[in-house]
Structure 1
Amino acid sequence: MTSFTLAEIRERTYKKRDAWWTVFLVDPLAAPLVKWTANRTNITPNQITFGAGVLGAGSAVCFALGSWPWLVAGALLFHLSFVLDCMDGKIARLKGNGSVFGAWVDFIFDRIRFFGCMLALLIGQWAATGEVVYLLLMPVVTFLDLLRYLNGAQVAKTRASMRDKLRAATLGQTVDAGVDDPESTEAANGGGAAAAAPESADPEPAPVVFMEEVLRENPDLSAEEVRSSTQGARVIDVHQGFSARFGWYDRLRGALLRSRVRPHLFSGIEFEMFVCVLAPLTAVTAAFSALPSLIVPVTIASCAALLVFELVIIYKLWLATRDFGTELRRIEASRPTGA
């Protein structure tokens, strides 16, 4: 039987940057559980995923019952289900026994758990109180959760498309200044209409380093440190416009990353936890005081916070597309005559 230490688990399974809810409220509990599970059992990641699904179903049942003791129980079960959801990936990375299908199952169970618990919570409260606002919140929460998934995927693809085009341009290929449909991979392959190989051989171009790729792998570095450590390479940064407008962002980012917290402070994880953990836990205050239930205000505040951060991501992407165009023109202007 293997013997993994907590230090080894943190080194091999912790992400370099993560949601603050995971860093402070999940990992401290998940790491000891991973240690015990990995060292003393042969439980697989898929079995842990199934266990998370069972706890999620129990959470939904508790939420549907509506009274405050059941709401508290549902919130605790939802959080524990999320802890197990984090554990399956850590076990897979630690033991190397993950699978592509397992990753798909993990994603599907995660979405089913959230939607099932969210619907059970809001429908249960509508049944208990008769207030229509709970029913009105259901499509809003659903829309925003789908929006952040679609937006995240498309933003990532658009950024990848810009990097592919800039990389192709530095190799002397002819590149269309417009960003392709993110589904297209022609730029990545260096062919098709997006790029054409140069007819004449030019001197070997300098290697290309993308600032966002380096910072993703080394989140503790600053932009200045990246430039000073990549001498001889062409450093491309398509987020200069954002940094110029918000100089405090890099300082905030550095402060957060020292604790592994990513600057995206209200992501999908916080959204789920606020709706399905924090909101139902507030039922305790309504049960023992004259205060009204805070489930609706907390849910509305969560929706607003998620929307604000998604709009910031879109704004940052828009500025990046402008920097992309500027950088592309700069690369083309630096080519030798006749290239």
Structure 2
Amino acid sequence: MRPYSLDDVRATCKPKDSWWTVFLVDPVACRLTLLVANHTAVTPNGLSRFSLILGTAAAVCFAAGRLAAGAALFYLSFMVDCMDGKIARLKGTGTVFGLWVDYVGDRIRVVCCAIGLASGQYAATGELAYILLGTGVAVLDLFRYVNAPQMKRVRDAVRENWPVPGAVEAHGEEHGGVSGEVSVTRAEVSAVLQEAASLIEASAGPEGSSTAGPRRGRRPSPARRVRRMLGTYRLIGPFLARYRIRTHLVSGIEFHAAVFVVAPLLGAGALLPVVTGAGALLLLNEVYLVFRLWRFTRMPAPVLPESAAPVPHGAQRVPA
């Protein structure tokens, strides 16, 4: 059997992924995956266990107040966690149990690191804010991973009531992979922004309408600001697609990177503001996804002509 090439490994990358993974993890992870695939017999489950060990070591470093070491170990843990999926897809050795191992290992790593980070800073400063911060990180992460499968169940239930195969797919993408991430299409974001601009413009009256020219010395109306956002998004959308970056730029992966890599590297003084800001952005992302799901469930099923309507099993269509 020929050795695997770097192109073979890159072909195993997800069609869409977080910008943190695409730019800061995959360039190294793909090359390490190539070495592991060609020169070792390590299994995906073995890599998952190693990732959990590194994550536990990161939690110990955080608890001991060694923030930079903890950040480095967490980054390595996440990189190895990315490698196990690539190995499974490359060699075709993935299993259903491996999905469970990967899923549970991620949750254990995040909870342990949140506890280590909070306890270490509380021991050093005595400030209760760090305990609340660690609790908030763990709760927000667990909510995200509990909520995503439930949202997928709702979308699947709606799909069962649509008589035209593929009709729902035009309105949104599936949840991605085992991680429970929710993908947002560019068309959906554009539609939501356009709808928001229309609603704001309608409620603003003559001064907020797009037909009224900008007034000197006055701030642009909310409708104009939304339309500018829409124009900016249409410019960056092709860039995101070219580099297989998911449209929602603040997901769980970016949240973990901000909390356990970026903030510790910046120092203890950056923990509270960086983690709080990252948590607020992730919460806004979750609120938007729930809003999108609400809009999705309110869409009426298309009315089909009689000739295209589905016929129950065993029944006969009566000609008109």
What TM-score does the superposition give when structure 2 sets the normalisation length?
Answer: 0.76
- 1:270 equivalent to 2:254? Answer yes
Q: 1:155-304 maps to which residues of 2 (within 5 A)?
A: 155-167=151-163, 170=164, 208-209=166-167, 210-212=169-171, 242=192, 244-245=194-195, 248=231, 252-283=236-267, 293-304=269-280
Q: 1:76-155 maps to which residues of 2 (within 5 A)?
A: 76-155=72-151
Q: Which residue of 1 aligns with 2:221?
A: none
Specify the code of the residue in structure 2 equivalent to 1:331. Answer: V
Q: Call closer, same or farther: CA 1:314–1:216 in 2, change over 3 Å.
A: closer
Q: Call closer, same or farther: CA 1:321–1:215 in 2, change over 3 Å.
A: closer
**How far off is 1:139 after superposition?**
2.4
- 1:331 equivalent to 2:312? Answer no
Q: Call closer, same or farther: CA 1:243–1:158 in 2, change over 3 Å.
A: farther
Task: Structure 2 unaligned segments of length 5 or more: list them.
Answer: 177-182, 197-229, 310-316
C-alpha offsets along residues 46-101 of structure 1, whole Å, 9 cap, x if unaligned? 111111111111111111111xxx21011000000000001011001000111111
| Residues 114, 135 of structure 2: 8 Å contact kept | no
- 3-state SS of paired residue (2:249): coil
C-alpha offsets along residues 262-289 of structure 1, whole Å, 9 cap, x if unaligned? 0111111111111111111111xx6xxx
Q: Call closer, same or farther: CA 1:46–1:7 in 2, change over 3 Å.
A: same
Aligned residue pair count: 268
Q: Which residue of 1 aligns with 2:64?
A: 65
| Residues 47, 83 of structure 2: 8 Å contact kept | yes
Q: Which residue of 2 aligns with 1:181?
A: none
**How far off is 1:148 after superposition?**
1.3
CA distance in 2, matches of 1:6, 1:16: 16
**How far off is 1:7 after superposition?**
1.0
**How far off is 1:137 after superposition?**
1.3
| Residues 54, 76 of structure 2: 8 Å contact kept | yes
- 1:319 equivalent to 2:299? Answer no
CA distance in 2, matches of 1:215, 1:109: 23
Q: Let me know the Cα RMSD of the aligned residues.
A: 2.8
Q: Which residue of 1 aligns with 2:5?
A: 5
**How far off is 1:255 after superposition?**
2.8
| Residues 186, 247 of structure 2: 8 Å contact kept | no
CA distance in 2, matches of 1:129, 1:216: 41
CA distance in 2, matches of 1:137, 1:215: 32
| Residues 75, 281 of structure 1: 8 Å contact kept | yes
- 3-state SS of paired residue (1:17): coil
Percent of aligned pairs with the same residue?
43
Specify the code of the residue in structure 2 equivalent to 1:275. Answer: V
- 3-state SS of paired residue (1:98): coil
CA distance in 1, matches of 2:127, 2:172: 48
**How far off is 1:32 after superposition?**
0.3
Q: Call closer, same or farther: CA 1:252–1:320 in 2, change over 3 Å.
A: farther
| Residues 252, 263 of structure 1: 8 Å contact kept | no
CA distance in 2, matches of 1:214, 1:282: 36
**How far off is 1:138 after superposition?**
2.4
Q: Which residue of 2 aligns with 1:35?
A: 34
Q: Which residue of 1 aligns with 2:17?
A: 18
| Residues 63, 120 of structure 2: 8 Å contact kept | yes
Q: Which residue of 2 aligns with 1:309?
A: 285
**How far off is 1:222 after superposition?**
7.9
**How far off is 1:239 after superposition?**
8.6
Specify the code of the residue in structure 1 equivalent to 2:248. Answer: H
Q: Call closer, same or farther: CA 1:50–1:163 in 2, change over 3 Å.
A: same
Q: Which residue of 2 aligns with 1:45?
A: 44
CA distance in 2, matches of 1:32, 1:41: 14
Task: Structure 1 unaligned segments of length 5 or more: list them.
Answer: 171-206, 224-237, 287-292
CA distance in 1, matches of 2:173, 2:111: 35
